[in-house]
A and B are shown apart, each in its own frame.
Chain A
Amino acid sequence: MIRYLVKRLCLFVPLLLVITLLSFCLVRIAPGGPFDRERAPLTPEVEQQLKARYHLDESLLKQYMRFLSGALQLDFGPSLRYRSHSVYEIIQESAPVSAILGLLAFGFALGFGLPVGFYTAARRGRWQDYTSSLIIIVMMCTPGFILAPILVLVLSLKLKLLPPALWGNIEHVVLPTIALGLIYAGRVARLFRGSLLEVSQNEFILLARAKGLPESKVLLRHVARLAILPVVTYCGPMLADLLTGSFVIENIFQIPGSGMMFVHAALNSDYTLVVGLVTFYAITLISLNLCVDVCYAVIDPRIRYE
């Protein structure tokens, strides 16, 4: 176990370096610098000054070295577009927002998906099974950017129940969470249902049924604990997907999270912010994957890692 962890951690650092170098180079190739606008700077000297101040006139390698040494001290430089904010501050302010949104959507996905999957499996073979299976498939395929505007239109603009955008209060949380989480709720439901059905083929469940317990009790007491395993393994990729899924939701609801920052930065050629955010995402995802693998090993003692 420890050896496995150490091996994975050893790969962590070169992977991070590769990702940051890649995004660094890509962002530099992009045309259109961050200083072009309708009113050009007065003289070419001023533009030169700005470039010198942000070290954009040095060679690529030098800039990357500078970036690395800064990164080790958590200083990714100022954002080129929002020059009074440093990249670290922007990430610091926006990451918690995205994290909260992501965790709430995660909770919603499990809290809504598990019962639905359970209900479908309990009513297996009857009409409720077919209709709810269909509903699950539709849930699974409804991306956030279709659901969100419809939710906003109906719940916020027509029925005037909730705010249409922004972040800051409990009431702001509802629509984004549902819009983000529904597609994962569908996947969780389907996974759980399939797993429940598979586990209930086992012999000891046959025994429970022979005892005369109703189907739902059988499922709840005996099957669910085992069936939850695939859902737990899906949690890792789900969290990773939630991170990227938040881009669109934050865009629609104008939520000041790191997803919105990333999209803006990519569209504005804000070099430092893009590289900073990619580094942040890479670290987050790699650690998530590591945690998930460890969790999986902890849960299932049959798994052995070479």
Chain B
Amino acid sequence: MRSHRAAITKTTPNLKKKFRDRVAQITQTFAISLLGTLVCVGCNFKASRPDLVIINGTEPESLDPAIITGFAEMRIAMALFEGLARPDPITGKPIPGLAERWEATDGGRVWTFYLRTNARWSTGEPISAEDVRQSWLRVLKQETAANYAALLFCVKGAMEFYYGKTTNPETVGITVLNPTTLSIKLTKPVPYFLDICALPVTSVVPWQVIQTQSDRWLKTRPLPSSGAFQLVHWKANHSIRLAKNPYYWDAENTQLNIVDILPIGSPSTALNLYLRGYADIIWDKDMIPPELLEDLLRRPDFHKFDYLATYFIRFNVTKPPFNDSRVRKAFAMAIDKERIVSKITRAGEKIANSFVPPQTANYIPAEGLPFDPARARRLLAEAGYPEGKGFPVVQYSFDAAARGAAKLNGKIAVELQNMWQNALGVRVELRQLERKIFFSAQSQLDYDISRSSWVADYNDPSTFLELFTSYNGNNRTGWKNATYDELITAAAVEPDKQKRAQLYYQAETILIKEDPPIVPLFYFTGVNVFDTNKVAGIHQNVLDLHPLNAIRKISYTNTFSPPIRKHFRQP
């Protein structure tokens, strides 16, 4: 027995010891690294709490005001950079921004802007008229790749400068009279010129920083901003933090100090964060789960409003069968728009009789095609397809995301398919495409019918109606109508408001009644989510513009709400 024991202890001790030591070593290093991680975790988390947390929709692609097109980006860019005018928080109409007053002379062809003397960059330097001029010129340079450069073509010499016919910036009609006065000459009087001056594309950007840094200018810190807020940090897909710009001319009326903007991708997460108090405002209707909209809209903190955007469908008029306008009209009159807004979208949208939303300024609503299945069938028979016989199978293309409000596109598609089948007896296939592919297919006219939407850039019918001129890049239907083109061009130069509205009315009647390449379905409603007991200064307007500096917090209990103790309630 004794020797047996000795044998065991003799052969195994060294191996066991080595194992033990090594395992001990590894465990020690692991424990230390875990401890270190926990310390890092603690340090990494900042303690400063923001005054306001806003859920803004998806991560902005850029904050450069000259190139952005989406609403989510525009809201942030408008907080950082201001232009000659800015939108009124209540009505959305343009009111003085960096310019304290202006004069229009020569029948609206010459505008003189008088800048505020206390206008400063967030780094302290004064904002001069030269800064404004350079910012406008930058939009007109092709290498900036500004999507809205065409809005500035009303300025004399702008179009020639943009297309490179001249390289001398002096030919563009923007002149600096003195450091605080700017004069802009237009080619023709434009009724919505001030709206353009309130858009982010014309806001004042730090052109000297851009010249040295080019694409990376938004990464310089401190970033000189001309608006009410400055950029503290911008972490992709994490958060954007804004702080009050102390040199802003209206800084004393800006109550918020730190604002966090969160790019949340999923509507249910956005809603959960809001309902738990981790966010104060949700801006975007896309960030609300569409299935819950009906119930949520009954709550007082869900504010509904109409805004200038239309959901419509496009036909590809270059290929049969939709090159025949009777077929298009038949399809238009077979759609029961009421059913779509009451059964599917259900946010209280109004059906669209005209392409341009009726609340648009300077506008007389045109009458489109009614819901009349009998007449639709007659037209289809006239076109050579009685009761849908012989009608080729066509495709309805739409973009859909796996989640979010884009799912509605799919549901609407199924409804439309049913309607056309039942009313006309035609078979329409559904073609769902991923977003990017969808837009490129649309541009290349690789579709039969496709869904579309358009949001107004400014409050005037031209932003909608100019889309379908034969030379507009966003036409994407192949539709060319000489009369329509003439009417739109005439309206663009018509100084008399009434006559102008009349011309647009005539043009729109062609667009939606006589020879329609499109069928407007409904006007979008927007939803802003915020508690009026906690946040003030947000007013619903048709442009959905809510300047950040007008918003104030009423109470400061936003981040952690203690759990409600149910058993303390009285029996």
Contacts and interface: CB of A to CB of B under 8 A. Distances in A.
Query: Is chain B in direct contact with chain A in the complex (CB below 8 A)?
Result: yes
Contacts of A93: 235-236, 238
B142 A226 contact: no
B429 interface: no
A165 B18 CA distance: 46
A44 to B, nearest CB: 9
Contacts of B34: 103, 107
A256 interface: yes
A90 interface: yes
B37 A45 contact: no
B59 interface: yes
B440 A156 contact: no
Contact of A160 (B40, B273, B564): B564
Interface string A211-245: 00000000000000110110010000000000000
A49 B143 contact: yes
Interface stretch (A77-85, A187-195, A276-284): A77-85
Interface size bracket, B side: 35 or more
A299 B440 contact: no
Interface in A10-48: 31-34, 36-43, 45-46
A100 B33 CA distance: 11
A83 B62 contact: yes
A116 interface: no
Contacts of B561: 160
A222 to B, nearest CB: 9
B145 A49 contact: yes
Contact of B272 (A50, A165, A207, A264): A165
A42 B273 contact: no
B45 interface: yes
Contacts, number: 167
B46 A160 contact: no
B557 interface: no
A85 B216 CA distance: 8
A166 B278 contact: yes
B155 to A, nearest CB: 16
Contacts of A159: 563
A221 to B, nearest CB: 11
Contacts of B187: none
B254 interface: no
Interface in B1-24: 8, 12, 15, 18-20, 22-23
A170 B236 contact: no
Interface string B123-165: 0000000000000000000110111011000000000000000
A201 interface: no
B305 interface: no
Nearest to B36: A103
Interface stretch (B260-268, B330-338, B380-388, B532-540): B260-268
A225 B149 CA distance: 71
A86 to B, nearest CB: 8
Contact of B236 (A82, A165, A169, A252): A82
B219 interface: yes
Given A166-B278, A170-B42, A299 B22 contact: yes
Contact of B150 (A31, A42, A170, A229): A42
A178 interface: no
Contacts of B212: none
Interface stretch (B88-96, B174-182, B431-439, B519-527): B431-439
Contacts of A157: 272, 275-276
B61 interface: yes
A201 to B, nearest CB: 15
Contacts of B41: 100, 104, 170, 173
B297 interface: no
A268 to B, nearest CB: 8
B23 A254 contact: no
B104 interface: no
Across the A-B interface, the 8 shortest Cβ-Cβ residue pairs? A32-B436, A256-B238, A84-B218, A164-B272, A32-B437, A160-B563, A36-B439, A36-B440
Given A36-B439, A46-B142, 20 more contacts: A31-B437, A31-B440, A82-B236, A83-B215, A84-B63, A85-B219, A93-B236, A94-B237, A100-B41, A103-B33, A157-B275, A160-B564, A163-B273, A168-B45, A170-B45, A225-B20, A232-B26, A254-B266, A254-B269, A264-B265
6 contacts: A82-B59, A156-B272, A165-B278, A168-B46, A228-B23, A256-B235
Interface of B: 8, 12, 15, 18-20, 22-23, 26, 33-34, 37, 40-42, 44-46, 59, 61-64, 69, 142-143, 145-147, 149-150, 215-216, 218-219, 234-239, 262, 264-266, 269, 272-273, 275-276, 278, 434-437, 439-440, 443, 453, 473-474, 476, 561, 563-564
